[in-house]
Structure 1
Amino acid sequence: MHSAPSLASVPFLRAVGRGLPPHYAQQEQLIGSLRALWAQKHFNLERLEDLHRAVSVSGRFLALPLEEYPALATFQQRNDAWIRCAAELGEKVVAQALEKAGLAPQDIDHIFFVTVTGLATPSIEARLANQLGFRSDIKRTPIFGLGCVAGAAGLARAADYLRAFPGHTAVVLSVELCSLTLQREDLSIPNIIASGLFGDGAACVVLQGAEAGPRRPSPRVVASRSVFYPDTERIMGWDIVDTGFKVVLSAKVPQLVKEHIRGDVDSFLAAHRLSRADIRHWIAHTGGPKVLQAFEEGLELPEGAIARSWASLKEVGNLSSASVLFVLGETLESQAPREGDWGVVMAMGPGFCSELVLLRW
């Protein structure tokens, strides 16, 4: 049992920036492109189309124009495109989030960068230090490999840091360009589902410690909890192959969510003398229709409780770690939250694991 922290030490969540690449394709366009590719291999095209339509996504934003993807034949070509596009999109969302928070790049003490869709050393936040003019004493924590859970986990780790440094400002940047990981030779059902579900996007969260900045109304990151499920490595992740990232995606994901989420959430809330009935805002990662249904059923949520997650899934697809931050940003900017409201941010990802974050307006 954990005791509830004193609000005097709890960090503030100041702003969320969100960005999508400039190229958009409707789902039917994407199906058409993939149909032409997979028809060469005598694939069951009707099955492909059914799987794509079942993910409830109407279209996605892409790092590159659709016609440029066929020329990316190697992992290096795709990863080079990822580095270029991630730095461009990352710069935009960090600048946007800082502007919303009334801060400048020089105000950042620590940047956490999360991704699972590309590799870069120096990492993307180091490139942004040059592009945006961060201070030379900025602390950098690049995190690779947490996948869809990384938006919530990054938020939690930044809040942990700000409890130790209450006068500091931290940002969490997520950039996911899922379209640049597509394995064209992989005709497995998981890859075909992934090619229909995942989209490209970036988000940035600005947080400040309890002693930083002016006292203006902002939600606080009260607490977080990480839950690791043993022996579930093959539920979700990548196999790193010669052509890049080959998706591992088990059909058991929704069942795992349904089995665990209620007990995990109830235990987390009980540690803070709360119950599900006390939570007004549920901010769920847009894992896919079956995952969102598992959240609703497992937590016995009232109708419409995760409507923003459903809408985000339909409009832009699953943006991996950026998804839950998109929904968080939309919640913050809506007129819905009132002073005193409680919220829970929840996401799951490779490990297999979940991350829960408790907010108080």
Structure 2
Amino acid sequence: MTRIAAVHGVLPAHEYQQHEITDALATMGLAPQGNRAVLDRLHATSTVRTRRLALPLERYATLSGFGQANDLFIELAVELGERALKAALEEAGVRPGEVDLVIFTSVTGIAAPSIEARLVERVGLRPDVKRVPIFGLGCVAGAAGLARLHDFLLGQPRGVAVLLSVELCSLTLQRADASTANLVAGALFGDGAAAVVALGREHPSRRPDDGPVVEATRSRLYPGTGRLLGWDIGDTGFQILLGSDLPDLVRRQLGDEVRAFLADHDLKPQDVTAWVCHPGGPKVLEAVRDTLDLPARALELTWRSLAEVGNLSSASVLHILRDTLTLRPPLAGTPGVVLALGPGFCSEAVLLRW
């Protein structure tokens, strides 16, 4: 099976308390009908305490438009991506020239050549490395990217594959949009990057102290939910779609889907010792807990990540996987689940074994 050899997360240098970001957004005019109390309430109920941003907070009011924001995305994504990828390879004890596949994912900027292409020479990857840039999976892409690493390594058992996620959500800020969806996004999302190094089952560098193995994956697209989550793209860039009935859909659909996935492997939710769940927001996390009937402690690391750095889109679940590996590693032989949700509307589950 695919072995996760290293997971490394990085964050930008600019750290702010939630109230500082609230004040800045209010100054930019992002309080509905000038009602500051609504903005304060949304930011307080997000449970986010601090976030890291790609730029100093005062710079966001000066951005001239989508073109400038996207240029900054490319520049900063290359810097953060290089840090994450180099550190993950070093932790795994893998030389850059050994990498056979690199998957890059982001939903917060557009680049051609893509970000991983710009990193090949900087990091020392081979010129013939296989590259798969992904755009459009959004928050689910951390789990989906891990699943696609596994798919590749099943056919390349001596191979090395890496996943790189860079999400600079703050650069998508829509200063003229006072919709509830945009205000909620402004309360939740932060910036960050993460990289995963995975080894095929016959790779000679596999070590006994490497991380868990991937046993199985499950992708699910829910029909009729295409406008529930995603982007509308216009002259000013990415305008968020965020349906208010998202938590209800999670309650109706996700529990049965995850239970069926686990049952295929003779497991039940109570058998899982580590839930590595994407922090979609407080209401979504409560819906996940309810529909799977999880104890409060099961999602503790997810709640902690949401509070400390906010929702990092596809990078979040990888940061939480890193935290699980370093702060609360499960007992050997026990199962874990990586779970994320994204545009489509869709879910991705990855079954791990420690």
TM-score, scaled relative to structure 2: 0.97
CA separation in 1, counterparts of 2:71 and 2:214?
36
Q: How does 1:199-214 map to 2 (within 5 A)?
A: 199-214=190-205
CA-CA distance at 1:43 after TM superposition: 2.3
Q: Which runs of 5+ in 2 are unaligned?
A: none
SS at match of 1:233: coil
- Report percent identity of matched pairs: 52
Q: 1:59 aligns with which of 29, 50, 62?
A: 50
Q: How many residues align?
A: 352
| C-alpha deviation, 1:252, in angstroms | 1.0
Report the equivalent of 1:226: 219
Q: Report deviation, 1:71.
A: 1.7
Conservation of the 8 A alpha-carbon contact between 2:182 and 2:240:
yes
> Which residue of the partner structure matches residue 106 of structure 1?
97
Instruction: Name the structure 2 match of 1:6.
Output: none
User: What's the counterpart of residue 290 of structure 2?
Assistant: 297
In 1, Cα distance between equivalents of 2:203 and 2:309: 34
1:182 alignment partner, one of 173, 176, 188? 173
1:213 to partner: Cα distance = 3.0
What's the secondary structure of 1:304's corresponding residue? helix
The letter of the residue matching 2:295 is P
Q: Deviations over 1:114-136 (max 9, x none)?
A: 11000000000001102111101
Answer yes or no: is the 8 Å Cα contact 2:199–2:206 preserved in 1.
no
Does residue 329 of structure 2 align to residue 336 of structure 1?
A: yes
- One-letter amino acid matched to 1:119: I
Structure-1 residue corresponding to 2:237: 244
What is the 5 A alignment of 1:137-176?
137-176=128-167
Q: Partner letter of residue 270 of structure 2? A: A
1:37 partnered with 2:28? yes
Q: Tell me which stretches of 4 or more aligned residues in structure 1 moved more than 3 Å.
A: 39-42
Q: Is the 8 A contact 2:194 2:315 kept in 1?
A: yes
Is the Cα contact below 8 Å between 2:251 and 2:288 reproduced in 1? Answer: yes
Match of 2:271 among 269, 278, 301: 278
Q: Does residue 348 of structure 2 align to residue 348 of structure 1?
A: no
Corresponding residue for 1:77? 68
Relative to structure 1, is the Cα distance of residues 98 and 290 closer, same or farther in structure 2, using a 3 angstrom cutoff?
Answer: same
* Secondary structure, counterpart of 1:206 in structure 2: strand
Q: Which residue of 2 aligns with 1:21?
A: 12
Q: Work out the CA distance in 1 between the residues paired with 2:43 and 2:64.
A: 23
Q: CA deviation at 1:315?
A: 0.2
How far the C-alpha of 1:40 sits from its partner, in A, is: 8.8
Contact 2:30 2:178 in 1 (8 A): no
Residues of 2 paired with 1:348 and 1:62: CA distance? 23
State the distance in 1 between where 2:218 and 2:70 align: 33
1:262 lines up with 2:230 in the alignment: no
Partner of 1:3: none
Equivalent residue number for residue 111 of structure 2: 120
Q: Distance in 2 between matches of 1:325 and 1:263?
A: 24
User: AA paired with 1:161?
Assistant: F
Change (3 A) 1:113 1:39: closer
8 Å Cα contact 1:38-1:45 kept in structure 2: no
Per-residue CA distance 1:168-217 (angstroms, 9 max, x = gap):
10000000000000000001010000011000000101001101133423
Q: Deviation at 1:357? A: 0.2
Deviates more, 1:32-41 or 1:261-270: 32-41
For residue 228 of structure 2, what is the aligned residue in structure 1?
235
Deviation at 1:112, TM superposition (A): 0.3
Describe the SS at the equivalent of 1:306.
Answer: helix
Distance 1:79 1:255 in 2: 34
